[in-house]
Amino acid sequence: MAEQEASGLQVLLSTLQTSRDKDVILNILSVLTDLLSLGSGRRIHYVISKGGSEALLQAFAAAARTEPPDHSTLLPLLRLLARVGQRDRKFGLKVQKAEATDIILSLARRNLGHHLHLTHCLWVLRVCASNVTTGTTLGINGAMELLFKVITPYSKRNVRTVRAAIEALAALLKSKSNSRQAVNRGYLGGLLRLYQDWHHNDVSNNYIYIRRGLLLCLKHIANIQLGRETFLGSRGMEILFTSVQDCLSCKNLDPIITTVTQILRKCYPKEPLPVATVRSSYSFPLPGNAKAEPPCEGSERDYESDGEEEAEKDLDNEDVESKEEDYDLEIDVNKLRPRPVFDRPEEELGQYEAMCPELSHNFQELESDSEEEKSLEHGTESLPFMPSHFIPSATSVKHPNYRWRNQSVTEMGPDPGEKDFKVPLQSWTKRDRCRWDQTDEKRDIAEAAQDADYYEEEDPARTHVLALRPLPKDAAWYKKMVYPECEALINPSPGGRLESSGIETQLLEKHQGDIPFHSPRFYIARAKRVKSIPDYRDLSFPDFWGHQPPPYSKPMLERKYGVQRDKVLDDVRRLIQPGDVIGRIVFDLDEPSRSSPGAPGCLTFFSKFESGNLRKAIQVREFEYDLIMNADVNSNQHHQWFYFEVRDMKLAAPYRFNIINCEKFNSQFNYGMQLVMYSVKEALQGRPCWLRAGHDICYYKNHYCCSAAAGEGVRGKFYYTLTFSVKFPHKDDVCYLAYHYPYTYSTMMSHLDILEQNRNPKKVYWRQQTLCQTLGGNLCPLLTITAMPESKKRDDLEQFYNRPYVFLVARVHPGESNASWVMKGTLEFLVSSDPIADLLRKCFIFKIVPMLNPDGVINGNHRCSLSGDDLNRQWLTPSSQLHPTIYHTKGLLYYLRSIGRAPLVFCDYHGHSQKKNVFLYGCSIKETLWQAGCMVDTSVITEDVGYRTLPKILDKVAPAFVMNSCSFLVEKSRESTARVVVWKEMGVLRSYTMESTYCGCSHGLYKGLQLGTQELEETGSKFCLGLLILHLKSLPCSEKVMAQATLLLDLEEEITDRAQRYFQIVSLF
């Protein structure tokens, strides 16, 4: 039957080409018209596949050559050509091959006075012009002059013909050659005038399609530089900006508003960022002959082109990366296979023996109370901040035969009589929250102070004076809330800084001590020893005071309709109404003398504190500020992370902030994500919370670009604006705004101190050592956590020594603070008294590097270290000088592999700015080859699918985790990442990157909600639960362990189910 239909169609088309009988031709055209007017486009594609376009063009050419032309045949032919041509991608080329372009133009010219015939010709002309080459040919042959005769002057007569002519002209102007020709002949000004006429006379909005068609013509002309310059010279910005104001209130006019906005964005004059150079305000001299990274070359999409702007289309798809993923897949099987090689002499690995003290510990303390416990009983022990073994630094002189001194590392624990602190069962729900038992806070404070004294004596250069920022001048609410009896203490000293005995002392006395695992005193002790490039002298209040997660999660922000176009139009208003712009610099990291903080009616900004990032603030209008972020140290890029203080605000005023030098082409800020805000006044009133904040949020490409001068030779790089509005909760408050929940280096170090102080040393084996010293001179901690052996019996010690390793790392990218919150949840669970945690410790030895890039975190970087390098692209060949934390982490992994103890699981904690949910990236040869479309010979390529087990487990036990978001593909661009290198070189099957969203969840229990620190910490704890289940599924276990685990996991599942049902009920209210 199908063959008969095919042969029948072919007979019709063949007859159409050869017949000269008018009646036969008309009958065939009637049949084709009926055939193509019914059903879907599949019929048209079928006709095209059988040569329909060629047959119609040949018949058209023959009919057009007759004198006089027979329009009874030509009109149905033209209608069919227009219909078929819309679906035929090669139609323009077929027209040229049939030499029909001149015929169509000639026919159109001959019918200028007959609008019905002309309209049919214009329909075909528009389809022909959709091919750029054919369109260019038509332009050379005078098509644009013809069309301008049709559409000018303004008239509402023959509207159908005018519309067809405008649409054909828009198609022609997609050709750059035609656009240049149109500009040179003055057509652009004519199009602007014509648009104005139609806009002013179309009061009832009956001719939207004509107005939009004219705008499309202008948009295509604006794709070339000459077109944009002429548009600006013709006052096009003012004309379109003024006209679009009349359209904003009518939703039916969205097509016009959108197109106008696109033209205005495209034609807005490009200008460099208002900074002397785009390179970071901070620089760091690198050791030896190393040089900072060269100025970045803009990627291909960053360079300005005369082609279509990507504009709004990015908003249609959050996961833009997934489209590009397939082109980056590694398809060389030899490169995908594990290759167990060393990147250094094998004799060097012996130095890492000191980092595995658990393998040689004799556990004498199990026989009697240890000396450590006795010293703690008398409160004389100091915190173990300094390791007793040699700490490699970036500038250490290496000798092939040197070894680290393998000395014991000080172990700390609380008074044995002290009650164990409680971390709740990891059936945590969103409503249940742990509390740190601070029954012995005085002892902790004394030890922290004693430790600080110890350090000041040993290395005075490591410590410096830190103070909180001066309080507001009008500090009445501070006086009333904090210390009404000590009013004098709140006034700044003449030098502009609070006396050290003033504000900090008073605030410490007011601190309730109810924030789990946080102590301001511990934080100050740690912050004093931080080494930063700016030499920070100020503390950020939220980091000092602490953060208590709110008892609820905030839903993702619903995007306000039309918010992006409104912001773009506001930007255009600056250009055409410059008198409204204040342009006052209120904060400048590069030139503080140029700043005018404290000016009447303006906010005061500050960012010179740990992890802070704000380079410049410019007041645009009374309640609007342009902000510029600082690039990563020794770099001219990676602008994403921000964290700064703002004060002197008015109550309930909608302040708008525009961060104008973002770099990523899309952001979760377009899909419901909000920034976070911390209010000092709220904190002092008992609500110390980082909260999601901001409205009218959007992220879009702006008019700033990287000039050759500012970029030190780099040009063509474009920037994006993150704009948001905030209403501050109090007048004259001190507030902090950040990209995501901050988690500083000092926060981490003080957190480790608290965990070590409060663990149960009889159950938890804990060693905090120093992996190495960073480029900036800060210490990178290495943790070992497992369970103490039950006794000194041979079987118990053997079980201890033979536990498999799990290796966890985090925060290689400083701006991914969510990774640290997940790690915080992991650490708190691992040292807790939860019976599942106790069983997990008995199953594994955990090696943890909680912060791989301390220098980047300290100095407010987003992605790089002080060397200007992305450390997660250095794992193939890390430098001991430039990348010490990666070099020594990899060395430790090499050592474990060399002694036959390669980890069962390796996981690198990250944050993801483009996707929702929590998910894992793993490595699979077969999945990579299958995705790339390669044939996989399963007899040659064998693979253990155990890499999928842990993600499947987490999908069941972790509410924020989504298996469908996971990927196990190996990309060429990721070959030097931790995940891929550990998989290949260490032979670790379960080598993962765990990505946590900055935004929220699209599936599961937290669907529609933004993740807070509580959910992130829960993810860290649930990861531990997943590891226990993995152990039970993958490794042999004793009957005792299996029975204990089964009982605990059944209880866990029951509690979790109850918690989820409770949460679902509560969320309804």
Which residues are known catalytic residues?
Answer: 995
CA distance 1013 to 1015: 5
Is the separation of the CB atoms in 327 and 932 below 8 Å? no
The rounded distance, in Å, linking the Cα atoms of 732 and 220 is 50
Picking from 1046, 908, 899, the residue whose alpha carbon sits closest to that of residue 982 is 908
The rounded distance, in Å, linking the Cα atoms of 862 and 870 is 10
- Give CA–CA dist 719/275, Å, rounded: 14
Longest pairwise C-alpha distance within the chain: 117
In the block, tokens 């002892």 appear at 443
Question: Computed from CA positions of residues 291, 297, 298, 301, in that sequence, does the dihedral angle turn out positive or negative?
Answer: negative
Contact 257, 247 (CB under 8 A): yes
Type of residue numbered 667: S
Q: Which two tokens stand for residue 531?
A: 């080494």
Kindly state the tokens that stand for 547. 């953060």
Structure tokens belonging to residue 972: 């060429």
Write down the H helix ranges in 19-131: 22-37, 41-49, 52-64, 71-87, 91-97, 101-110, 115-129
The CA distance from 281 to 635, in Å, is 9
CA angle, residues 289, 292, 297, in degrees to nearest 5? 135
Q: What length is written for the chain?
A: 1069
Angle at 269 between CA 263 and CA 273, to 5 degrees: 125
Q: What is the distance between the alpha carbons of residues 897 and 982, in angstroms, rounded to a whole number?
A: 10
Q: Which residues are paired to 284 by β-bridges?
A: none
Q: Residue 395 gets which letter from DSSP?
A: T
How many angstroms separate the CA atoms of 620 and 574, rounded? 9
Who's near 954: CB < 8 A, 6+ residues apart? 920, 961, 963, 1022, 1023, 1026
Pairing of the two strands 918-921 and 845-849: unpaired
3-state secondary structure of 210: helix
Extract the tokens encoding 920: 């894992």
- Contact call for residues 948 and 1016 (beta carbons, < 8 A): no
Residues 6+ apart with CB under 8 A from 86: 127
**Cα gap 844→842, rounded to integer Å:** 6
Tokens of 865: 């270290």
- The C-alpha atoms of residue 22 and residue 1040 are separated, in whole angstroms, by 95
Q: Which residues contact 467 (CB under 8 A, 6 or more apart)?
A: 497, 498, 500, 503, 504, 537, 538, 539
Cα–Cα distance for residue pair 1033/1042, rounded to 1 Å: 10
Whether residue 274 has a cis bond before it, omega within 30° of 0: no
CB atoms closer than 10 angstroms to residue 186: 11
The answer for residues whose C-beta is within 8 angstroms of residue 742's C-beta and 6 or more apart is: 540, 542, 543, 611, 643, 690, 817
CB atoms within 10 A of CB 1000: 27
**Cα 37 to Cα 41: distance, rounded to the nearest angstrom:** 9
**Which residues on adjacent β-strands are paired with residue 961?**
918
Cα–Cα distance for residue pair 145/143, rounded to 1 Å: 6
Strand 990-997 and strand 905-912: pairing? parallel
